[in-house]
A and B are shown apart, each in its own frame.
Chain A
Amino acid sequence: MKKIKSIVLFVLVAVIASMLAGCGESKPSINVFNWGDYIDEGVLKEFEKEYGVKVNYSMYATNEDLYVKLKQGGESFDVIFPSDYMIERMVREGMLAKLDKDNIPNLKNIDKSFFGLDYDPDDEYSVPYMWGTVGIIYNKTMVDDVVDSWDILWEEKYKDQIIMLNSQRDTIAVALLKLGYSMNTRNIDELEEAKAELIKQRPLVWAYQGDEVKDTMVGGEAAFAVVWSGDAVAMIRDNPDLEYVIPKEGTNLWFDDMVIPANAKNKEDAEKFIDFMCRPDIAAKNADYIGYSTPIPEAIDLLPEDMKNSKVAYPSEKEIENTEIFRDPMDIVVEYDRIWTEVLSGE
């Protein structure tokens, strides 16, 4: 029995020692949790230097990943970057803290059109970080037709030339838009119709990809892909034969915002961080680095010419008038899952 005791003691000592090691630093710190490849990490160093606050940076892959990590507890985060519909859900479930806007004076830099959006109507919880659209990227050398509609992704002659997103919500949204329905529909019949469209399309699809789509399109391996506008900017930079189009039936307009979880340990420094990210020079650095669109006009002015004038990153108002923002699907998420499984598990 003595040996067990000594082993238990050893484990305890090891655990306590590692906890103490963590507490040893007197410097304040914040835990920032962001999408993968979604910041110029040099910006974090600048923040650390200017404010003397250490940034612990980690990354996630999807909104749902983020949600699950947050719900489980264990780790606490001070700044996170969920998208529109996820913010709506988190607010509904009381997972976010209200911001103290006096601590974020740089809010004034953000374009007015980004305030009062449906997912946070009173702008109590969220500060826009990046935004964009979903559209079709195509290779001009491989396509003769005019690309202006989602219908082209159902065109028989482009069999095995089409890449769709490996994402339930986005791909079902494409089918709904093609049919002329709202992508936030809660009508099962409309969703079933979208399912039928996707099953019809499946033999034509070469692959359903995530981030790998960038390599496929830049390498000229397929003619069409459904992508997010920021990724399109990056892809066109690497392969000028590519062109990005927002189809005439409309598309998804999305926003990734900075928010503070309700259980954040260092709200004060988190707000400083958000404020820092809204500074035009910092926002410009991030936008330039990742290719996504910043909501800060002064930052856009600081960007290199080709990005500043990019119709992909900064479409005219007319081009995005026909767009819709995702809403929280709530219970209907089960239907999405079923539809997606049925689409991808057929023969």
Chain B
Amino acid sequence: MRMKRTAYPYILWIGIFIVIPLFLILYFAFTAGNSQDFSSFEISLSNFRRFFTPIYLKVLGRSVNLAFISTIICLALGYPMAYIISKERHKKRNIMILMFVIPMWMNFLLRTYAWLTLLGRNGFINFIITKIGLKPLDLIFNDKAVLLGMVYNFLPFMVLPIYSILVKIDKNLIEAAEDLGANRFEIFTKVIFPLSIPGVITGITMVFIPAMSTFIISSLLGGNKYNLIGNLIEQQFRWTGDWHFGSSMSIILMVFILITMAITSKFDKEKEGGGGGLW
């Protein structure tokens, strides 16, 4: 198919802001030398050799693990939510979705900071707990707090795509299923859920990717005690100044995300006959 003329600005945009930076990262990843001096670069795999040692692999493992758990929680919470909202009447539905979106108008960093005061030792939640005579809980600076931060911040990215697919399902299909004698459970498992899979796939991708690469949440709510891969990358760029190692970790992160997306899109293709979802 011939590209339309109107597509040129977008191609220019993609070229400048996506393709060129990606190649720069690739170039940095496979070279070594003083990051600020191009003439000192030489082709090298040393960054990757350094990464594939137990210490960094452990961090990668922890990141994958936390991102995976938070994606599962988001799906478990988000799907029923999206389903319930989509069943509401038009007006109520829009208000409910608006409620989901309004917090996102505030800066992500501020919302995460807010959790610091909620979860802190003398924070709001512990204040309530001690008021009713219970012992204060250790809520912050652990993996649970990081998970909470991820789920809280990324849940809308799960709910919105699933919701927008669910509201578009043709009511006639459900009626037809009823006519053919399906009960409500069968309607859900055989009609609604299979049709909503593209939304689920998009939701999973949109939660998993930011959860995998976050460094702010683990830094603020995890108290920097549990490095994630995002923290290691940030450290290389901001403090150590080794852009080569930082870039190669970014490449490894990207490869991981691509693999997960490839796996999830497989499910998608079976239903859609290819070309659906993000891929």
Q: Enumerate chain A interface residues (CB-CB to B < 8 A).
A: 3-4, 7, 61-62, 64-65, 67-68, 71-72, 160, 166-168, 202, 205-209, 212, 215-216, 219-222, 333-334, 336-337, 340-342, 344-345, 347
**How many Å lie between the Cα of A344 and that of B120 in the bound state?**
22
Q: Which of A62, A209, A345 contacts B238 (CB 8 A)?
A: A62
Q: Which of A62, A67, A202, A341 contacts B55 (CB 8 A)?
A: A341
B9 at the interface (CB under 8 A from A): yes
Residue pair A212, B116 in contact (C-beta under 8 Å): yes
A68-B36, A205-B225, A207-B225 given; A333·B141 CB < 8 A:
no
Residue pair A160, B239 in contact (C-beta under 8 Å): no
25 contacts across the A-B interface (CB closer than 8 A): A4-B8, A7-B8, A61-B238, A64-B238, A64-B241, A67-B241, A166-B224, A168-B239, A202-B225, A207-B223, A208-B224, A212-B220, A215-B116, A220-B122, A221-B122, A222-B121, A333-B240, A334-B240, A337-B236, A341-B232, A342-B55, A344-B224, A344-B226, A345-B59, A345-B227
B contact patch SS? helix
Residues of the B chain whose Cβ atoms lie less than 8 Å from the Cβ of A221: 120-122
Chain B CB within 10 A, most for which of A7, A68, A215, A340: A68
Residues of the A chain whose Cβ atoms lie less than 8 Å from the Cβ of B219: 166
A7-B8, A68-B36 given; A341·B122 CB < 8 A:
no
A contact patch SS? helix
Chain B CB within 10 A, most for which of A72, A209, A337: A337
Residues of the B chain whose Cβ atoms lie less than 8 Å from the Cβ of A202: 225
Residues of the A chain whose Cβ atoms lie less than 8 Å from the Cβ of B264: none
**How many Å lie between the Cα of A219 and that of B116 in the bound state?**
11
Closest to A65 in B: B238
Residues of the B chain whose Cβ atoms lie less than 8 Å from the Cβ of A209: 223-224
Q: Enumerate chain B interface residues (CB-CB to A < 8 A).
A: 5, 8-9, 12, 36, 55-56, 58-59, 116-117, 120-122, 138, 140-141, 219-220, 223-227, 231-232, 235-242
**How many Å lie between the Cα of A205 and that of B240 in the bound state?**
23
Residue pair B8, A341 in contact (C-beta under 8 Å): no
Q: Which of B55, B116, B141, B237 contacts A206 (CB 8 A)?
A: B141
Residue pair A207, B224 in contact (C-beta under 8 Å): yes
**How many Å lie between the Cα of A87 and that of B240 in the bound state?**
17
